[in-house]
Structure 1
Amino acid sequence: MLMVLVGLGLAGALLVGTALALVYPKLPDLASLTDYRPKVPLRVLTSDGELIAEFGEERRRPVDISQVPLVMQHAILAAEDDRFYEHGGIDYLGVVRAALSNLIHGGKGQGASTITMQVARNFFLSREKTWTRKFYEVLLSYKIEADLSKDKILELYINQIYLGQRAYGFSAASQIYFGKRLQDIDPAEAAMLAGLPKAPSAYNPIVNPKRAKLRQEYVLNRMHELKYITDDQYKQALTEKLVYRGKRSASLYPVDADYAAEMARQAAVEMYGDEAYTAGITVITTLKAKEQNAAQTALRDGLEEYETRQYYRGPEGFIELPDDAAKAEEVIADSIGDYPDYDELQSAVVLSATPQEVDVSRGAGDVIKLTGKNIKPAESWLNPRAPSNKRLKRGAVVRILVKDGQDPILTQIPEVQGALVSLDSHNGAIRALAGGFEYSLNKFNHVTQSTRQPGSSFKPFVYSASLEKGVTPTTIINDEPISFPANTPGGKDWNPKNYDNKYDGPMLMRDGLAHSKNMVSIRILQYITPAYAQQWATRFGFDPADVPPYLTMALGAITTNPLQMASAYSVFSNGGYRIKPYLIEKIKDGQGRIVAQARPAVSGDEANRVIDARNAFMMQRLLRGVVEHGTGVRAKALGRDDIMGKTGTTNDSHDAWFAGFNPDLVAIAWVGYDQPKNLGNRETGGGLALPIWLDYMKVALKDAPVKPQVVPPGVTFVNDEYYYSEFTPGNGGIEKLGVKNDGGDIPSLFNFLKGLGNAITGGDGAKTSPPAPHSDNNTPSKFDKQGPDQIEKLFGR
């Protein structure tokens, strides 16, 4: 009998040996491991190296083993293969342990795959459960162990393994789940990540928080048993409340620039096709990380503040809550992830509601009490007789605005939209671009795709043209009503008005711009002719078709978008040169080689000059007056002498603008509804758009020195004012427009003082009778389609 068993053993060994001799040489070449090139997604960065976005089916961030913290390595070993550095690819003790466990528990709940075996399977084999596949897996594991170091095998595993949420590898997963670099995670977070490979969908903390917590506790226990963490670290990790980036925030990246990222993605795909998503392409934009975050925050804050003054539309949804308080908190914690936060605008669920107090929870066990003015927007929905689908009651999902040092306010996601874009006025590099309140809610990029009327923010281009026709800062222009009879049978007379329906009589041209007087602008345009103003506007980049040659042009009845306005205002900022906005500084391939580089037009190159330096100088002074004592006086809060700008509010308050700059930086802010409607009779560019612009500029100009104006040749200083040398008072300059010559309408000291007083109470000066039709915001503009020609625009060529 013994001889029979020995014989069978020898036969089995001979059979295995023969199989090894035949199969082993035919195993796959390990070149794909030694020269590992994973599918690396398209990455978009700021100019200072911060990540904006990744695009591709597989989110990866390959790292060297030296970049993986020990706590992460230990968590992986504890969860998957604690004898990894001791066995030769197959852990026989682990096989015996798993077999005994499965025998005792009557199932196949515990496997014995080592990290090496998982690398073999992930790179070369399918996941089918057959003896043939398992045999190849064992042989490949031996081959991998023979050819590669243990550290290299662990590095391959760390970079290749799938961890849910389209994340491949622990570095990508750390960013996706926690918004952190892998180097910055703690033991509790490392254990949660290390628990994912066993079943990424089952243990995904975003989808299954309870099961994920149980798996994390198992990994932490193994880490503690193996002496990878101390008693104190173990206890702290067990009680630590993890905050998941994907659950509580709409953004997964340190820089909030989704609209710009989409522009960069389109450009990369135009160049590389679908390969852009897998070849490790890196797009480096011109954005500045701090400025970009400041722009998006400023825009959100401005729109949220506006929304607190609007009609409350009711809850976003309802969640069925059990009566038991503890169970209700669990339901809220599991459900509220469907309503992501948008920075300080956070989701919450109503626990109880009366006209005097609303109690809400965010699923963390804390009750937030809202009372008084903080629930006033929703007071009509606290009435028991309010419609059931709108009433604030237990289980209603609402929004609270949570700002540091302030009590939370009951509010809602804004319906109003906005945009903010800033440029380096010397080369057109886009430093910040916020295309709307939140990309995940509205992907329409209002910086580049909108088609809106700029209102009074267009007036400076009319004033700039008038300087060439002899109008001066001290030309006296009549601010009195003017009427234009219909020029076609059955047409209507045009009777434009000032915003506030107030008229100050004859006044200086510079004060007309500072206080945005419509009558002054119209009389200037009458004098220089709309055709001349249209031609002049093309110097700043406006298409003649978008600037029809009618008197309504004086009030901004043209079509444009924030990016085009930024480009146009940069001509005033940089001394008269036209530059082209561009977003992409360079593109690198998967090996880090630069394959595309921006070549922008720059100021100082006389080939790019479109207006004389003295015209830009004079306009800077005039637009400084808007800030000093006009409709843009709020901009004085920056405490700088080099800030200039212009407010804008369109007909019926459909659009609110502020266009402002210093000699190096231009920024444009816009607010309006996608389907144009009245923002409110008291809402203006100075009240809505300027505060957004101001919050951004506080960050952008924080460390920038103040730049004084330099007087260019051809300008003469007379009686405390600058003039073109050939257009000084009494020597070629226009003295009056629309003023009687009997001397009775010369502005008095009273009118001068009254004009200065309007700096506080004066309106935007853009309320008019309907001029040209207002364009629908969703009408595609010339910036809408970003095909091959758009790449040229993005690169500034």
Structure 2
Amino acid sequence: MQVFTEDGELISQFGEKRRIPLKLTEMPPLLVQAFLAVEDTRFYEHPGIDIIGIFRAATVVAQSGDFSQGASTITQQLARNFFLSREKKLIRKIKEIFLAFHIEQLLSKDQILELYLNKIELGQRSFGVGAAAQVYFGKTVHELSVDEIAIIAGLPKAPSALNPIRSASNARARRNIVLGRMLDTGVIDKAAYDAAIAAPITSKLHGAQITASAPYIAEMVRQDMVNRFGEETAYSAGLKVYTTVNSQQQAAAKQALQQNLYDYDERHGYRGPVAQLWPATLQQSADNEPVFVEDNPLPREDILAYLDKQSGIEDLIPAVVIQVAAQSAELIIAGGQQISLEWDGLKWARRFINDERQAVAPKTAFNIVAPGMHVLVRQQQQQWRLSQVPQASSAIVAIDPNNGAIRSLVGGYSFSQSQFNRATQAKRQVGSNIKPFIYSAALEHGYTLASIMNDAPIHQWDDNAGIAWRPKNSPAVYDGPIRIREALAKSKNVVSVRLLRGVGIDNSIRHLQRFGFAASDLPRNETLSLGSASLTPLELVTGYAVFANGGYLVTPYVIDKVLSDEGEVIFEHNPAIACQQCEQTPSEAEQSNNEDSEAQLDQLFSQLAADSSSQAEPDAISEPQQRLAEQVISEQNSFLIADALKSSVWGGGSWQHGTGWNGTAWRVQSLKRRDISAKTGTTNDSKDTWFSGFTPDLAVTVWVGFDDANRSLGRAQWHANMGQQQSAGTESGARTALPAWLSYLQAVSSSVPERQATPPVGLASVRIDLQTGLLSRKTDHTSSFEYFKPGTEPSQYASADIQQISFDSTAEKKPADQDKEEEVELF
């Protein structure tokens, strides 16, 4: 089974047998001729059996009783490989002959040869010449040299014993026999023969030629295929699985996540070398200069031998320090290359004390590294940099909000380090990322984005706990009366608590369940308003997609289609789509058809597994009807929340008049896009940090924290060496998770064109007073347009407007309703 991105890049392959099926015309003629020369020179002349070969083998058996003398044609070998065992018995040979005659009647010579070259076992779990070329040499069949072709052509005789990975000497001897046959039959000339005979055996085991790094996606696909169709079919049917993942967006997600973890790690200090291979003491030289005195340093050969046994992880490379200067160091990396670590790649490495504290900034390289240290380095912007394996974890997931297709997903720093997929398996407290859903519930219960709430401290006595509950804003700044739009953009905790109280806990939980959140993950107390709910990043981004697509709950999926080994489409996902112009829910008939399609698919794969030996082609699956996602909130509600979250990016007020303010996601302004809605999230003690944001065509969530849920991300102190190139302070959603989200969006922005959401039918745009949320006739910095659902817009004017009217004797008196109608723009 091979797993691909949507654009055809190989993610991974699974199974007991490796195959790369090729047409006969796709194989180089020299490769085909090599097999014919050594296995069946009269292949195109005989009717399936070689009478001369049979008599020769029979003579040997009669004289010695030895059945090892082969006489099987390529057709006979094909018959044996498909239908018989390898036991050397006369009855098996007789069956083989009759089957060979029958195959020759059914198939042409070219078809037989093509099947043989694709199915023949060639060792190391490779079946067919395409797989063997990749496994032994990491090449395609067209890249093989003459000696490599001869090695592969010699394998059918005894693939386990003669393959070059198992025994180079056996492979060389067999290769030379094949080359001799190729010379005798005129396939190659004497010069080519001599060159190939002299070539060394350089084969080594090569894995799949992975062209897109998405191991967490690959494992999701593997589990899905095995659960759906069973191990035998999933691993042995030669299936090709195409995912919804885009290779470029996936690469951007991995880069963004890893670089963000490196940045966090560097903010919190250097934890020291992997090992110290020999002692080195820092002393003062005769010139009063610092110098390391080394005790029995290892010679270069021993250092290289040591490094050969070490393994890096991701882009971190093992290295040994051999020399240190004031602001640089010389190292040897695995493979023998000597590199220089300049000061820009070292100066970050102040000593780690704990998650809250770091030592003073180093002044020289002597304070950081010493000869004999085994360290890890990586390249960043063509410069070597001292590094270390990050201890913090992270996840990033991006989906298409219109159908749930997963475009990118990275479940941790390194799949080789931990196969735990934090994007789909880690339920963590979501902090303020829950607030848009609380505010959505408020809009369903009579509140508007212009409603005024009191942003003031809350003190509530808890009889059960015997203490007062005092939820606080972070930072602990209180603005007094504040509009809901501004409170959401600034992430005001106490306003969220008051809204939950106004709506009611039960009503709020029922509303949050509409977004796909399980009731068991939603605590039934007021901490829900501050983000005590525990969700996975994939669950959370699915909820945010509802705001992006007009109110529809889509189901995330990663498998787009599955092809058989013959290239036939045997499954194609039919996602439920968010469609504002379609019926809101699928009919019962459509749901029944979908269930029938699933049952038909299961039956198809069962048949495929049972009949794989007969190469039966599956019946075509009729194209399923389009499925429609369920609309869980109104289009007006989703638009209002999405628009309010744009204020989290762009803020409001007038900086010129001293009333300007920023939202918590203001750093997203650097993308210079007006179609992005976003929200930060931070839990108590910064144990979990989040950033979620979306456009009409892409929803993305990033989580950063430790796998140990009790460990805080802490605080980074000011670093004198870094100047403005740092992010000091307490870790938070804006400081810790947002940079990865921003880096990802910067990389993929060109593939996701800016698209403004259109206000849905029925919303009204009304000019309001920014201080009171009431109607306003002013057109200066004190007023702005706000969106309202029909019938929820304010009916009174702000007192300042009323006073202006009463003192303006020339103002034309109009009925209040007439004024209101003229101030409302309907969509």
**TM-score of the pair, normalised by structure 2:** 0.66
Deviation, 1:453, is 0.9
Deviation, 1:569, is 0.8
SS of 1:53's equivalent in the other structure is: strand
Residues 684-730 of structure 1, C-alpha deviation per residue, up to 9 Å, x if partnerless?
A: 22233223223333444423332223222132321422232433345
Give the match for residue 649 of structure 1: 682
Farther-moved stretch of structure 1 (472-481 vs 447-456): 472-481
Give the match for residue 634 of structure 1: 667
Residues 90-148 of structure 1, C-alpha deviation per residue, up to 9 Å, x if partnerless?
A: 8999xx9xxxxxxxxxxxxx9999978976875677667x7979998998999799888
Alignment partner of 1:359 is 2:325: no
Residues 16-62 of structure 1, C-alpha deviation per residue, up to 9 Å, x if partnerless?
A: xxxxxxxxxxxxxxxxxxxxxxxxxx333334444333322112222
Cα 1:394–1:521 change in 2 (3 A) is same
Cα 1:536–1:393 change in 2 (3 A) is same
Give the match for residue 443 of structure 1: 419
CA contact (8 A) 2:165 2:203 kept: no
Give the match for residue 705 of structure 1: 753
CA distance in 2, matches of 1:149, 1:429: 44
CA distance in 2, matches of 1:275, 1:298: 37
Cα 1:378–1:536 change in 2 (3 A) is same
Cα 1:593–1:616 change in 2 (3 A) is closer
Alignment partner of 1:727 is 2:704: no
CA contact (8 A) 1:427 1:603 kept: no
CA distance in 2, matches of 1:183, 1:601: 44
Deviation, 1:568, is 0.9
Cα 1:455–1:117 change in 2 (3 A) is same
CA distance in 2, matches of 1:421, 1:353: 43
Alignment partner of 1:690 is 2:738: yes
CA distance in 2, matches of 1:492, 1:214: 84
Alignment partner of 1:619 is 2:597: no
Cα 1:606–1:625 change in 2 (3 A) is same
* Equivalence map 1:177-326=2 (5 Å): 182=141, 246=207, 252-276=209-233, 277-310=235-268, 311-312=270-271, 314-315=273-274, 325=300
Give the match for residue 345 of structure 2: 374
Give the match for residue 387 of structure 1: none
- Among residues 704, 710, 714, which one is paired with 1:680 in the alignment? 714
Give the match for residue 746 of structure 1: none
Deviation, 1:642, is 0.8
Deviation, 1:278, is 1.8
Q: Is there any run of 5+ residues in structure 2 with no aligned partner, and where?
A: 57-68, 279-295, 353-367, 586-629, 651-661, 716-729, 768-782, 801-827
Give the match for residue 758 of structure 1: none
CA distance in 1, matches of 2:478, 2:203: 62
CA contact (8 A) 2:6 2:242 kept: yes
Deviation, 1:157, is 4.7
Residues 719-751 of structure 1, C-alpha deviation per residue, up to 9 Å, x if partnerless?
A: 422232433345599x9xxxxxxxxxxxxxxxx
Deviation, 1:64, is 1.6
Alignment partner of 1:498 is 2:473: yes
- Among residues 382, 385, 399, which one is paired with 2:376 in the alignment? 399
CA contact (8 A) 2:244 2:406 kept: yes
CA contact (8 A) 1:61 1:159 kept: yes
Cα 1:378–1:159 change in 2 (3 A) is farther
Residues 294-335 of structure 1, C-alpha deviation per residue, up to 9 Å, x if partnerless?
A: 33333233333333344436428989x9966468647755x4
Cα 1:697–1:274 change in 2 (3 A) is same
Residues 437-472 of structure 1, C-alpha deviation per residue, up to 9 Å, x if partnerless?
A: 232322222222111111111111112222234433
Amino acid in structure 2 at the alignment position of 1:619: I
CA contact (8 A) 1:618 1:722 kept: no
Alignment partner of 1:526 is 2:560: no
CA contact (8 A) 1:116 1:144 kept: no
CA contact (8 A) 2:303 2:320 kept: no
SS of 2:230's equivalent in the other structure is: helix
SS of 2:514's equivalent in the other structure is: helix
Cα 1:183–1:493 change in 2 (3 A) is farther
Residues 738-777 of structure 1, C-alpha deviation per residue, up to 9 Å, x if partnerless?
A: xxxxxxxxxxxxxxxxxxxxxxxxxxxxxxxxxxxxxxxx
Cα 1:370–1:581 change in 2 (3 A) is same
Deviation, 1:623, is 0.6
Cα 1:53–1:475 change in 2 (3 A) is same
CA distance in 2, matches of 1:56, 1:670: 33
CA distance in 2, matches of 1:566, 1:482: 30
Deviation, 1:632, is 1.6
Give the match for residue 564 of structure 1: 539
CA contact (8 A) 2:319 2:377 kept: no
Amino acid in structure 2 at the alignment position of 1:302: N
Cα 1:244–1:282 change in 2 (3 A) is closer
SS of 1:352's equivalent in the other structure is: strand
CA contact (8 A) 1:486 1:492 kept: yes
SS of 1:620's equivalent in the other structure is: helix
Give the match for residue 764 of structure 2: 715
CA contact (8 A) 1:312 1:377 kept: no
CA distance in 1, matches of 2:681, 2:758: 28
CA contact (8 A) 1:125 1:133 kept: no
Residues 179-236 of structure 1, C-alpha deviation per residue, up to 9 Å, x if partnerless?
A: 66555667798688668778867887889999999999999999999758999x979x
CA distance in 1, matches of 2:271, 2:166: 31
Deviation, 1:631, is 1.9
CA contact (8 A) 1:171 1:181 kept: yes
CA contact (8 A) 2:555 2:575 kept: no
Amino acid in structure 1 at the alignment position of 2:741: W
Amino acid in structure 1 at the alignment position of 2:745: M
Cα 1:171–1:417 change in 2 (3 A) is farther
Alignment partner of 1:609 is 2:621: no
CA distance in 2, matches of 1:581, 1:87: 57
Alignment partner of 1:664 is 2:636: no
CA distance in 2, matches of 1:194, 1:394: 49
Cα 1:280–1:119 change in 2 (3 A) is closer
Q: CA RMSD in A?
A: 4.9
CA contact (8 A) 1:91 1:114 kept: no
Cα 1:76–1:437 change in 2 (3 A) is farther
Q: Is there any run of 5+ residues in structure 1 with no aligned partner, and where?
A: 1-41, 97-109, 382-389, 736-797
Number of equivalent positions: 655
Alignment partner of 1:44 is 2:44: no
Cα 1:511–1:216 change in 2 (3 A) is farther
Deviation, 1:600, is 1.7
CA distance in 2, matches of 1:399, 1:649: 31
Farther-moved stretch of structure 1 (657-666 vs 271-280): 271-280
Amino acid in structure 2 at the alignment position of 1:641: R
Deviation, 1:619, is 1.1
Deviation, 1:558, is 0.8
Deviation, 1:482, is 2.6
Q: Which has the higher strand share?
A: 2
Deviation, 1:574, is 0.9
Alignment partner of 1:155 is 2:114: yes
CA distance in 2, matches of 1:660, 1:434: 17
Cα 1:600–1:218 change in 2 (3 A) is farther
CA contact (8 A) 1:497 1:519 kept: yes
Give the match for residue 411 of structure 1: 387
Amino acid in structure 2 at the alignment position of 1:471: Y
Deviation, 1:417, is 2.2
Give the match for residue 102 of structure 1: none
Deviation, 1:518, is 1.9
CA distance in 2, matches of 1:452, 1:48: 33
CA contact (8 A) 1:420 1:667 kept: yes
* Percent of residue pairs identical: 37
Deviation, 1:502, is 3.6
Cα 1:164–1:81 change in 2 (3 A) is closer
SS of 1:168's equivalent in the other structure is: coil
